């Protein structure tokens, strides 16, 4: 197994021992498979992993068919096992030289993540495969936890009530920890009790028995200390009645939720099957508990502001967000300490100022603020809306504000809750710049792919210019010269050809140049026409017939023209290239537009082989491609562009064959 050519003079047993030693030195869990998927040999790391996870040689040792093991997987692991088996078969069949996959897997100590690499090699005329697995749990776990916390933060930013927030919070905690049950308790400052606000995975009888923990209970004492508890459920120290014993809980985590040093409640997660809470998930659970504590604090503050004028002042002064009170004309009546910090003015200077006249906002944002104040004055909450405020020292800060109509005694006022999002905006701006740069690189790559067609498009008018110019020269040098009328016609043909060449070059320059994203009103139908013309040479090269079925309405959209053109060019090129593998006589691309509510939908349909059905293939993800030499960035960039314009993009398979890609854009 060290090659078909062995070192002259080295005995065969030594060669085999050398191969085994090299395999054992490999830190990945490695196995060698024959062409049927049967395991021929495994290294020491593979054997150690199998032993640690209770997998004997009969399940994953030499002689076992590894593909059959993958095919027999069920439950949550079946998708990853199916993808692994498909990749190995492609390598063994010669369809691919190598294969890689990252996948989650349940083990004795919870969910883990692995990287899989497969590579083919030849030995004594047979195709074998080297299969390696590496534990990347830390990376996979960190990535999954980051995604869960990010999704939770986005969800919590969009909800307005605890009833909407708590189910999402608990579900995130259970998914992150791998536990199967839990609850969120909220602390009552008046009674010093903690009360169950939401539960999941628990019987009704158990929920009733643990719905309230009194002030002198071990549970409340634990939460008050602010130190998480991890251990068996009975060790919590509470009396075990029939309902608690019948529930059969084993492992338990109690995580106090605090915000600015105050007790908010606690997050409980538990398991009916596990004996402990894995140490690896404890950090993420504590982070989620802190996240929930902050969200609960914010939502409780907002609810109290709506529900109780009596508590208004205390909450007003201690709210973490800036709070402004204005009259119906926009004059500031009050502001809290957070508001002072945000806008950089002391409260005494803020009071009495009209936000429309004091230089806090520029002209455009002043007009927006007037509209929002008028809407709130009419009794309708507004927001979130974003503003840029000029502070006293001249610096600027970005705010996200919500406005609510409120009645204080006999006076109608507007309550504005503002949050400083300057850091978030700067991060978003940097992300937009990187996306613009990536889109520009993609356009340049597209230009390179179309180089031959572009040369042909430009050469056509240049040849016309050359031929008519030669004709004019021949006529002028001839003895029997024709009339000036014929020369005028030829020179007009030269001018038309030159204009066409200039138009082609101008279109290419606009498409390829790097510029800041600027959105303006535009006709989507014009953008479609320009895109079709831009890749007309590609259509001819692939033998594709392009048909336009544009709806009979203006289709006015507010877009970055070049970016939407880039989306169209990418979809058209994909359609042309897809039909290269289709040997049918009909190669047709149909572009349709139609109104869909307050959006316009564009579809690009081809008659190619359709969309691959390979398991786990997500064609809109970055670096995913079905082309032999593709980068896998075209559809990912198109998705980013369309979604940033407020639309969506998707694909489907045509009943008569081929694929159709759709995207929508809001109408002006």
DSSP letter, residue 7: P
Helix then strand count (H, E) for the chain reads 22, 23
What is the CB neighbour count within 10 angstroms for residue 53? Answer: 14
Longest C-alpha distance within the chain, in Å?
121
pLDDT in tens, 301-339: 877 666 665 566 677 778 888 888 888 888 888 888 888
Name the one residue in this structure whose structure tokens are 């040792």: 61
What is the CB neighbour count within 10 angstroms for residue 129? Answer: 23
> What's the CA gap between 151 and 173, in Å, rounded?
12
Name the one residue in this structure whose structure tokens are 């692994």: 84
253 or 238, which is more confident? 253
pLDDT band at 443 (very low <50, low <70, confident <90, very high): low
DSSP letter, residue 624: -
Average pLDDT rounded to a whole number, residues 197-222: 91
* Per-residue model confidence (pLDDT) at position 557: 94
Note the residue count of the chain.
668
Alpha helical stretches, state H, 95-177: 137-158, 162-177
Asked whether the predicted pLDDT for residue 454 surpasses 60, the reply is no
Asked whether the predicted pLDDT for residue 297 surpasses 70, the reply is yes
77 or 274, which is more confident? 274
What φ, ψ does residue 606 adopt, rounded to 5°?
-125, 175
pLDDT band at 3 (very low <50, low <70, confident <90, very high): very low
pLDDT band at 539 (very low <50, low <70, confident <90, very high): confident
Average pLDDT rounded to a whole number, residues 428-438: 60
Contacts of 484 (CB under 8 A, 6+ apart): none
* Per-residue model confidence (pLDDT) at position 503: 58
* Per-residue model confidence (pLDDT) at position 4: 47
pLDDT in tens, 351-395: 888 877 667 788 788 888 888 888 888 888 888 888 888 887 888
What φ, ψ does residue 293 adopt, rounded to 5°?
-60, -45
What is the CB neighbour count within 10 angstroms for residue 261? Answer: 6
Contacts of 371 (CB under 8 A, 6+ apart): none
* Per-residue model confidence (pLDDT) at position 452: 46
Q: Are 300 and 160 contacting, i.e. CB atoms less than 8 angstroms apart? A: no
* Per-residue model confidence (pLDDT) at position 265: 93
What is the CB neighbour count within 10 angstroms for residue 101? Answer: 17
Structural domains of the chain in order of their starting residue, each with its CATH number: 12-135 (3.30.450.20), 141-307 (3.30.450.40), 323-420 (3.30.450.20), 425-510 (1.10.287), 517-668 (3.30.565.10)
Asked whether the predicted pLDDT for residue 512 surpasses 60, the reply is no
Average pLDDT rounded to a whole number, residues 411-435: 77
Contacts of 367 (CB under 8 A, 6+ apart): none
């Amino acid at each position: 197994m060290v090659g078909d050519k062995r070192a002259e003079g080295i005995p065969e047993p030594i060669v085999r021992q050398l191969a085994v030693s090299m395999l054992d030195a490999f830190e990945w869990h490695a196995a060698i498979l024959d062409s049927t998927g049967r395991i021929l040999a495994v290294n020491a790391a593979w054997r150690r992993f199998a032993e640690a996870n209770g997998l004997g040689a009969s399940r994953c040792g030499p002689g076992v068919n590894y593909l059959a093991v993958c095919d027999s997987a069920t439950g949550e692991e079946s998708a990853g096992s199916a993808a692994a088996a498909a990749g190995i078969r492609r390598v063994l069949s010669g369809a691919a030289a190598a294969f890689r996959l990252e996948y989650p897997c349940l083990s004795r100590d919870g969910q883990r993540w692995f990287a899989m690499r497969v590579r083919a090699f030849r030995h004594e005329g047979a195709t074998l495969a080297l299969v390696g697995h590496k534990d990347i749990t830390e990376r996979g776990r960190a990535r999954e936890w980051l995604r869960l916390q990010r999704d939770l933060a986005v969800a919590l930013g969009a909800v307005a009530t605890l009833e909407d927030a708590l189910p999402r919070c608990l579900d995130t905690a259970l998914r992150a920890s791998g536990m199967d049950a839990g609850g969120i308790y909220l602390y009552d400052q008046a009674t010093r009790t903690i009360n169950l606000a939401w539960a999941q995975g628990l019987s009704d009888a158990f929920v009733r028995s643990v719905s309230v923990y009194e002030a002198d209970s071990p549970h409340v004492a634990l939460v008050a200390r602010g130190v998480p508890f991890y251990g068996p459920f009975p060790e919590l120290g509470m009396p075990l009645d029939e309902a608690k014993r019948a529930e059969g809980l084993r492992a338990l985590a109690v995580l106090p939720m605090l915000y600015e040093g105050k007790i908010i409640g606690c997050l409980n997660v538990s398991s009916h099957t596990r004996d402990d809470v894995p140490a690896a998930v404890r950090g993420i659970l504590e982070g989620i508990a802190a996240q929930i504590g902050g969200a609960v604090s914010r939502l409780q503050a907002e609810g109290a502001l709506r529900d109780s004028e009596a508590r208004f002042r205390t909450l007003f002064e201690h709210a973490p967000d800036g709070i402004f009170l204005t009259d119906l004309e926009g004059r500031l009546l009050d502001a809290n300490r957070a508001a002072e910090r945000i806008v950089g003015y002391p409260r005494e200077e803020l009071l009495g100022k009209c936000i429309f006249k004091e230089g806090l906002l520029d002209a455009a944002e002043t007009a927006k603020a007037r509209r929002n104040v008028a809407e709130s004055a009419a009794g309708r909450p507004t927001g979130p809306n974003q503003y840029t405020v000029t502070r006293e020292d001249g610096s600027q800060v970005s705010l996200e504000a919500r406005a609510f109509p409120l009645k204080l005694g006999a006076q109608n006022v507007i309550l504005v809750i503002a949050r400083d999002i300057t850091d978030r905006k700067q991060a978003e701006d940097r992300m937009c710049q990187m996306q613009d740069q990536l889109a520009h690189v993609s356009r340049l790559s597209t230009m390179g792919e179309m180089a031959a067609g572009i040369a042909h498009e430009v050469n056509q008018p240049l040849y016309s210019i050359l031929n008519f110019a030669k004709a004019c020269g021949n006529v002028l040098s001839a003895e029997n010269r024709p009339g000036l009328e014929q020369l005028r016609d030829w020179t007009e043909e030269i001018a038309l050809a030159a204009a066409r060449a200039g138009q082609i070059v101008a279109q290419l320059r606009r498409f390829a140049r790097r510029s800041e994203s600027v959105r303006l009103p535009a006709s989507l139908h014009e953008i479609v026409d320009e895109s079709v013309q831009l890749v007309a040479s590609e259509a001819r090269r692939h033998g594709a017939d392009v048909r336009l079925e544009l709806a009979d309405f203006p289709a006015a959209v507010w877009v970055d023209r070049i970016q939407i053109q880039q989306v169209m060019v990418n979809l058209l090129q994909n359609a042309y290239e897809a039909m290269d593998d289709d040997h049918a006589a009909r190669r047709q691309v149909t572009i349709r537009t139609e109104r869909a509510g307050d959006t316009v939908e564009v579809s690009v349909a081809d008659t190619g082989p359709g969309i691959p059905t390979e398991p786990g293939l997500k064609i809109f993800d970055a670096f995913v491609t079905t082309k032999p030499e593709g980068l896998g960035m075209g559809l990912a960039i198109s998705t980013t562009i369309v979604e940033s314009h407020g639309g969506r993009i998707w694909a489907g398979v045509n009943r008569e064959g081929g694929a159709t890609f759709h995207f929508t854009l809001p109408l002006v």
